[in-house]
A and B are shown apart, each in its own frame.
Chain A
Amino acid sequence: MDFDFLFRTATSVYGQSELVGASWDLLPWFVGAAVVFVALDILRMGLFARRASALEGKTAGAPAGGTVVRHKGADRLYHWLMAAAVLTLMFTAFAPILGWKFEWDTPHWISGVVLTILVVIHIVRATIWQDFWAMVIVPADLSEGAQGLASLFGGAEGPLKPGKYDLAQKLYHWAIAALVLALVVTGLLMLAKIDTPFWQRNPYFLADTTWGVIYAIHGLCAMAAIALVIVHIYFGVRPDKLWLTRSMLTGDIARKDYAAHFDTQRWKV
């Protein structure tokens, strides 16, 4: 199969075709895929949500009052700083490609370094101070996920309740984490190509062909990340998820929502 449509190539000094990066013609496809996903979900919500929402949230006991902490201040701050960094990176990367010309290079690498620092902080914090296993996919998630998928389309039984994060959230987290890590690693390598107040450029420590691979990975991951961010924002503003989105602002959820939506044995507060 010919994969030329994925990449940009040029002719090297030796007269051979060499990879120089990802093809920006793919951008509409990635954005389109995300938009199609969102559209199909909206359609699904319209067709099946009444039955699904009636089944969701059933709980044996009476809901309790008060709130439950879902995200501490440090984690919310991390999330929003990371969001700002990612959106700045995306804007400075793709606006010039789409025709809006401005000095994009400096804000792009600075945002990239900020993102790198945030990611390192997150990895350390999540591993040492937070419940790392809350994000790990376990067999119970697979059962919950299968039943949840059925209930999305009005299946007979209501969804099993997840722990703090459901299967979809965990899958999304690991997908975006993989993309961001690939972007961070390739982006840090690209810093060698520019002059900054801290170092002088030395773009020749890697061969042209290697740079081509690095640029291709960076570009493809960036476009894939745009698609995932669109989906993430959609779920954040979907009306039935607003109670969860608010927890990324206020830090807590209502105790009745905790009891209704989560397996209190898997996520203990």
Chain B
Amino acid sequence: MIIKDAIPNFDLYQPTKLADALALLGKHGKDAWKLAGGNDSLTWFKERIKRPKVVVDLSGIQELYGIKETADGVEIGALTTLTEIERNPIIKSKYRLLADAARRVASPQIRNTGTLGGNISQDARCWYYRSGLPCYRAGGNTCFADTPEGVNRDHALFDTDRCVTVNPSDTAPALIALDAKMVVKSSKGERVVSTDEFFIGPKTDITHLTSVKPDELVVAIRIPKDWAGARFYFEKVADRMTWDFAHVNVAAAIVVNGDKIERSRIAVGSVSAKPLRLVAVEEIIKGQPANADVAKLAGQSSTRGARPLNYNKFKIPLMANLVTRAVRDATA
């Protein structure tokens, strides 16, 4: 009897050393799937939409765990769970923005096994794509969400280029606001990339949300101390308070000097395939007094250039309100 309702077969490798994992990825390339917490992976496998030939289970690689303070800031191993990040005293005291973001990811059960590396590397949640339809992101040449009747309520406002999905990560905007760097390794070497280079949009590669190549692995996330102790704000709006992806989320790190906004980094998620850093808003509020009028101006400015789809127009005032609240409440 042929069992047809099971996860398709694959070769499972469970290396305990990073070098071994990188060698496996280098050998198998596109045929290999990187498994961390498994919260995203197993859904793909059970739906039988992704059928990798090889799965590399990273959970046994101890050097990818842990949070340590360094001379330049803090380094978080890619396999550190979101619960650990949420509760870590260093993160809570100096980089609370990330703890706030991690606390809003999914549910406690998922946060107990979900990793920071996995959260920033997760794939798009567009239901058409997730159903296995031959859209652009799946290598086809159409978008089922970008139609007059397509259910595109959770899709993008900005930078839509044929594909209109969004990056669903909650920690991504927080890491952008904290100016984090991702350490990406392969058997050929290491590269440290900014969030701007790490997250990519459809204009760059319509089939991926990150610039990580098949033979590479995110091993750590480094947060510089530049924004340690700044004023932070994180808010996520979703249909449910738990176990749901954001309609819009916002992360802000703001330094106030006296009563003036000295500098800021503000990022919004779930409005574009590449989490959106609001550089123009940062320039507008720089040097301005930290008051409600400036916060309102920031909110109004943030949505310039938004191109809503048929069912996500609500995201425009939502995004404006969240950015207003971020600037107002972070500077209060």
- Give residues in A with beta carbon < 8 Å to B: 8, 10-13, 18, 20-21, 96, 99, 101-106, 193-195, 201, 203-204, 208, 211-212, 215
**CB atoms of A12 and B134 under 8 A apart:** yes
**CB atoms of B161 and A105 under 8 A apart:** yes
Interface string of B178-209 (1 = CB under 8 A from A): 00000000000000000000001111110000
C-alpha gap A75/B147 in the complex (Å): 45
Give the distance to chain A from B40, nearest Cβ to Cβ, in Å. Answer: 22
**Other-chain residue from A101, A105, A203 in contact with B146 (beta carbon distance below 8 A):** A203
Which B residues between 122 and 177 are near A, CB-CB below 8 angstroms?
132-134, 138-144, 146-147, 160-162
**CB atoms of B162 and A208 under 8 A apart:** no
**CB atoms of B132 and A8 under 8 A apart:** no
B211 adjacent to chain A (CB < 8 Å): yes
- Can you list the 7 inter-chain pairs with the closest CB atoms, starting with the nearest? A10-B134, A103-B203, A20-B140, A105-B203, A10-B140, A101-B205, A215-B141
**Other-chain residue from B147, B160, B200, B213 in contact with A99 (beta carbon distance below 8 A):** B213
**CB atoms of A195 and B133 under 8 A apart:** no
- Give residues in B with beta carbon < 8 Å to A: 132-134, 138-144, 146-147, 160-162, 200-205, 211, 213, 307
Assuming A105-B161, A201-B162, is B142 touching A208 (CB within 8 A)?
yes
Tell me whether chain B's interface is mostly helix, strand or loop, or mixed: loop
C-alpha gap A8/B139 in the complex (Å): 9
**Other-chain residue from B141, B142, B213, B307 in contact with A195 (beta carbon distance below 8 A):** B307
Report A-chain residues with C-beta under 8 Å of the C-beta of B144.
13
Report B-chain residues with C-beta under 8 Å of the C-beta of A212.
141
**CB atoms of B203 and A106 under 8 A apart:** yes
**CB atoms of B141 and A20 under 8 A apart:** yes
Assuming A13-B133, A18-B134, is B161 touching A194 (CB within 8 A)?
yes
C-alpha gap A203/B136 in the complex (Å): 12
C-alpha gap A96/B206 in the complex (Å): 11
C-alpha gap A120/B81 in the complex (Å): 59
Which single residue of chain A is at the shortest CB-CB distance from B205? Answer: A101
Can you name 9 A-B pairs with beta carbons within 8 Å? Answer: A8-B139, A13-B133, A99-B213, A106-B203, A193-B141, A195-B161, A201-B146, A201-B162, A208-B142
Report B-chain residues with C-beta under 8 Å of the C-beta of A195.
160-161, 307
Which single residue of chain B is at the shortest CB-CB distance from A105? Answer: B203
Assuming A11-B134, A106-B203, is B147 touching A211 (CB within 8 A)?
no
C-alpha gap A74/B200 in the complex (Å): 42
**CB atoms of B205 and A211 under 8 A apart:** no
**CB atoms of A203 and B142 under 8 A apart:** yes
Report A-chain residues with C-beta under 8 Å of the C-beta of B307.
195
Report A-chain residues with C-beta under 8 Å of the C-beta of B140.
10, 20
**CB atoms of A211 and B142 under 8 A apart:** yes
**CB atoms of B134 and A20 under 8 A apart:** yes
Report B-chain residues with C-beta under 8 Å of the C-beta of A20.
134, 139-141
C-alpha gap A163/B119 in the complex (Å): 67
**Other-chain residue from A18, A103, A193, A215 in contact with B162 (beta carbon distance below 8 A):** A193
